[in-house]
Amino acid sequence: MTVQVPLVDLDRQTEEIRADVEAGWSGVLERSAFILGSQVADFEASFARFCEARFCIGVANGTDAIELALRAAGVGRGNEVLIPANTFIATALAVLRAGAEARLVDCDPATYLMDQGEAVARLNRKSRAVVPVHLFGQIAPGDDLITVPDLVMIEDAAQAQGARRHGRAIGSFGIAAATSFYPGKNLGAFGDAGAIVTNDPELAKKVSALRNWGSTEKYHHPEVGFNSRLDTLQAVVLSAKLARLTQWNEERVKAASLYDQMIDDRAKPPITLPGNDHVFHLYVIEVDDRDTVMAKMQQAGIGVGVHYPVPIHLQGALGHLGHKVGDFPNTERAAQRMLSLPLFPGITESEQEQVVEALFAAIG
C-alpha cells in the first residue's frame, strides 16, 4: 500500500524551519549549554507572551507538565482529581503519579469535551482539582468549575496551542495550563518536551524547583523534586516553530473549513463550541461501522487514525477504579465511531479531495 495522504506530514514543517534550527543548534554547540541554556529562557518568554501568561516553565514532556502543576498546586495523596473519560491515558497517569486519584467524567456527545454539568455533579468532599482536556484543538468549558471553592483547575492544553475561548488563551481559566510539545502537536518539538504556563508567581516558582530536583540554587534541595527539564536543543526547535504557529493554525482552520464544505450527512463533522476559536489539532468525524471505513481508507492510501479506540476507564492501568463497560456511554460510543482525517499545515485541496473521495467510497 502506498500512502497518498498521511495523517500528519511533519516533513513539510521541518523543511520550512530547517535553516533556523540549524543556525540555532550551531549556537548551542558553540556554547555547549545543553541544559537550561539561554535559548530555553528565550522560548519560555516567547511562549508565555503567545499565551498571554506571565510565566512559562519548560519541562521534559506533557505528562510531567500535568503532574508537576498538580504537585505545585498542593494536589496529592487523599485528593481526587476530575478528568474526562475521553482523553489520552497520560492525563490519568499524571494524576496517579502525583499521588491523587482520578475521578472520571463522561464527555459531551456533540463536542467530545468533558461534560461540565456531570463534572459538577460528581464533586465530593475529596475533590481537590479538575483537569479539563482541551481536546482536538478547542478549549473545554469550565465556567461552572472555576467558581467552586477550593477546587484547583489545571488545563490539559496539549492539543490546543493557540486556541481561545471568549477571546481568552490557554492558561487563563485555571491556575495553570500544562501542554505537550510531542512532535505531532500544533507546536511540536523534535522529540519529547512540555511546559506549564501560569499567571501565578508562587506556582511558577514551585514548578521551576520541582523540575530541577526541587532546587532553585545549585546543591540546595529543600524539597523532593524531579529531573524534568526542557533541553536547549528542543527549545531552539520550538522557537522556530512558534514563530510560524499562528500561520500554521490558520492553515489548519482553513483546511477544516474545506472539509466541512465537502463532507455531507454520510458522516458527522466536528462541532465547534460557541465562543471557541478552534485550532484543529485533529479533524475528527463520526461514521457508522468505523473500523471497516478506516480499513478501506487505509487500503486506499489515506492515513486515517482513531483518537481513542479504548476509553481510559477500560484500560488496565485504571482497573483499580472498578469501572465497567457502560459506565461512560458517550465516551464508549465515541470510541467506536470517531475517525481522524488527515489535517496538517500545508495539506493541499487536492489531497483533501482524495481523502473525502476515499471516505465516501469506504462508506458506500
Q: Which domains does the chain have, with CATH numbers?
A: 10-239 (3.40.640.10), 245-363 (3.90.1150.10)
- Stretch 293-304: mean pLDDT: 98
- Stretch 188-199: mean pLDDT: 98
* Cβ–Cβ < 8 Å for 152, 144: no
* Cα–Cα distance measured from residue 253 to residue 348, given in angstroms and rounded to the nearest whole number: 13
Instruction: Report the percentage of the chain scoring pLDDT > 90.
Output: 96
- Tens-place pLDDT, residues 67-83: 999 999 999 999 999 99
- Tens-place pLDDT, residues 22-38: 999 999 999 898 999 89
* Cβ–Cβ < 8 Å for 76, 101: no
Candidates 87, 158, 163; CA nearest to 330 is 87
Q: Residue 1 pLDDT more than 70?
A: no
- Stretch 146-173: mean pLDDT: 96
* Cβ–Cβ < 8 Å for 114, 69: no
Give the global pTM.
0.97
- Tens-place pLDDT, residues 84-94: 999 999 999 99
* Cα–Cα distance measured from residue 88 to residue 266, given in angstroms and rounded to the nearest whole number: 27
DSSP-derived secondary structure for 125-185: TTEEEE--B-GGGSPPP-HHHHTSTT-EEEEE-TT-TT-EETTEETTSSSSEEEEE--TTS
* Cα–Cα distance measured from residue 285 to residue 262, given in angstroms and rounded to the nearest whole number: 13
* Cβ–Cβ < 8 Å for 96, 71: no
Taking CA atoms, 32 is separated from 35, 190, 232, 332, in Å, by 9, 19, 10, 49
* Cα–Cα distance measured from residue 81 to residue 71, given in angstroms and rounded to the nearest whole number: 12
* Cβ–Cβ < 8 Å for 271, 112: no
* Cβ–Cβ < 8 Å for 54, 82: no
What's the pLDDT at 270? Answer: 97
Instruction: Report the percentage of the chain scoring pLDDT > 70.
Output: 100
Residue 231, classified by CB atoms within 10 Å of its CB into exposed (0-12), middle (13-18) or buried (19+), is: buried
What's the pLDDT at 33? Answer: 87
- Tens-place pLDDT, residues 261-292: 999 999 999 999 999 999 999 999 999 999 99
- The β-bridge partners of 102 are 81
Q: Residue 2 pLDDT more than 90?
A: no
- Stretch 242-253: mean pLDDT: 98
